[in-house]
Structure 1
Amino acid sequence: MTVTLITGANKGIGFETAKQLLELGHKVYIGARDVERGEKAAAALGAHFVQLDVTDDASVSGALATIGSAEGRLDVLVHNAGILGTESADGPTALRVFDTNAVGIVRVTEAALPLLRKSSNPTVVTVSSSAGSFWAVNNPDRPEFHLSLALYSASKSAATMLTIQYAKSQPGIKFNALEPGTTATDMTAAFGIGRPVEESARTVVRLATLGPDGPTGTFHDETGELPW
């Protein structure tokens, strides 16, 4: 059975990804900051819950220790936790956005590496965004061209770069990032846009279920590999 951890999985794309992977036979651990919401989501899906705040070292270490004690390994890690940070473009907001969207990836990855190395097919997927792609934000034909979310976009550039650098430094583990598509979640509710989470989660699931010879160090959307 494939053991999978998804951060920020009590709602949105993370929740739907958990649902689809469970249907494929994965043993899924839902990571969430809020214990009540996380436990409720896990119970609704038939998944397992670990309290995991990607901005807190002790929380991250505790979550991976719990999984390690129960499973002895981790096969798939999905970095899904993220925030927009649209309140204001000031120092405290920037620190919070980067701590969640970029530094959180480092915290969780570093804590997970010992368990991933014990897997026969270790895979890491980062839910990033084309809002952090130079190609997309400078392309008038792309929706990102008109998107003004400086902190979010910059933090997603960092998230994608971290994914690529981990792919280079950890050749035995597949690391890939993705643009999930504009999705109707709590993050986009204020904009009134987005497609169903079921559609966007399919790309996450595809990258989370790659075989041993699958690609690494790439940036994808539902159509395939993207420029970055």
Structure 2
Amino acid sequence: MGGMSDQSTPQPRTAVVTGASSGIGAATARALAEQGFRVVCAARRTDRIEALADEVGGEAITCDITDAASVEALAAAVPVCHVLVNNAGGAVGVDRVDEADLDTWRWMYDVNVLGLVRVTQALLPALRASGDAVVVNVGSTAGRWAYEGGGGYTAAKHGVKVVTETLRLELNGEPIRVCEVAPGMVRTDEFSLKRFGGDQARADAVYAGVDQPLLAEDVADAIAWVATRPSHVDIDELVIKPRAQAAAHKVHRS
């Protein structure tokens, strides 16, 4: 009888979240844990993801998505994956195209696009093994609008959008949905601070006077919703902005 009971106990579904050490990634790990997932928290900062994994009852795996061996180690630790959230990314600088620092552009492409592809390639066997999987790529409204000083980041996020669309076409017929959640203005502790090289005043100015920018939890809620639709429902793309942001060039400030 005991064996029958063990067999009838469903195993928790597994979700992998990259860039889980802060911001949208950490909030997404919490949101998916609340939905009953066993969450694998992947990021470079081991202390942060270990604390988060303890909080949500998940697992921490130190991973640099720009490093092939690191990503292979992540994949080796996850034999079955039901949800992959490719959240790791970032922006550096606000260079004009004619003055662009190509090293920072290269870093943004490596993290936002190539890192996403590297992780997806490595985890595809685990996604297939689940029999019903969802890939959620965290894009941006920067993948839809151009703005001055944003060339490197917008190019990378346009890349995320097209990679997502291509992957959906190529996996058609397999039980894997491919989705993009594209946030607008989100106030997190680190995104703008990193973009401006640690200049807190410049980071704060991005959100100055904005009536309630999005929070990481708002985006995480959207990601969790996309990831938990019935298996025949694919949310191709979900663009989420604060009410104050009508467009890249139209933000209400008090």
> Which TM-score band applies after superposition, normalised by the shorter structure?
0.7 to 0.9
C-alpha displacement of 1:205:
1.0
Q: What is the match of residue 138 of structure 2?
A: 127
Among 175, 179, 182, the alignment partner of 1:176 is: 179
What is the distance in 2 between the residues matched to 1:148 and 1:156?
Answer: 14
Question: Displaced runs of 4+ in structure 1, greater than 3 A?
Answer: none
Q: What is the match of residue 73 of structure 2?
A: 62
Using the size of structure 1 for normalisation, the TM-score is: 0.85
Gaps of 5+ in 2: 1-11, 194-202, 208-212, 242-254
Among 29, 38, 45, the alignment partner of 1:34 is: 45
Aligned length: 208
Indicate conservation of the 8 Å contact 1:129/1:178, yes or no. Answer: yes
- Residue deviations 1:176-224 (CA, integer Å, cap 9, x gap): 11212311111035144232221121111111112211126x221249x
C-alpha displacement of 1:120:
2.4
Among 64, 77, 96, the alignment partner of 2:107 is: 96
Indicate conservation of the 8 Å contact 1:11/1:41, yes or no. Answer: no
- Is residue 117 of structure 1 aligned with residue 92 of structure 2? no
- Residue deviations 1:157-182 (CA, integer Å, cap 9, x gap): 00111111111111211111121231
3-state secondary structure, aligned to 1:64: helix
What is the distance in 2 between the residues matched to 1:3 and 1:90?
Answer: 39
Q: What is the match of residue 221 of structure 1?
A: 239
Indicate conservation of the 8 Å contact 1:87/1:93, yes or no. Answer: no
Indicate conservation of the 8 Å contact 2:16/2:41, yes or no. Answer: yes
C-alpha displacement of 1:34:
1.8
What is the distance in 2 between the residues matched to 1:86 and 1:220?
Answer: 26
Q: Give the AA of the match of 2:62.
A: Q
Indicate conservation of the 8 Å contact 1:121/1:211, yes or no. Answer: no
Query: CA 1:80 to 1:31, structure 2 compared with 1: closer, same or farther past 3 Å?
Result: same
What is the distance in 1 between the residues matched to 2:148 and 2:54?
Answer: 36
What is the distance in 2 between the residues matched to 1:192 and 1:48?
Answer: 34
3-state secondary structure, aligned to 1:78: strand
Q: What is the match of residue 81 of structure 1?
A: 88
Q: What is the match of residue 36 of structure 2?
A: 25
3-state secondary structure, aligned to 1:103: helix
Q: What is the match of residue 105 of structure 1?
A: 116
Using the size of structure 2 for normalisation, the TM-score is: 0.77
Percentage of identical aligned residues: 32
What is the distance in 2 between the residues matched to 1:188 and 1:34?
Answer: 19
What is the distance in 2 between the residues matched to 1:52 and 1:80?
Answer: 13
Between structure 1 and structure 2, the one with the greater Rg is 2
- Residue deviations 1:21-74 (CA, integer Å, cap 9, x gap): 101100100000122222122223332111111100000000110112xxxx11
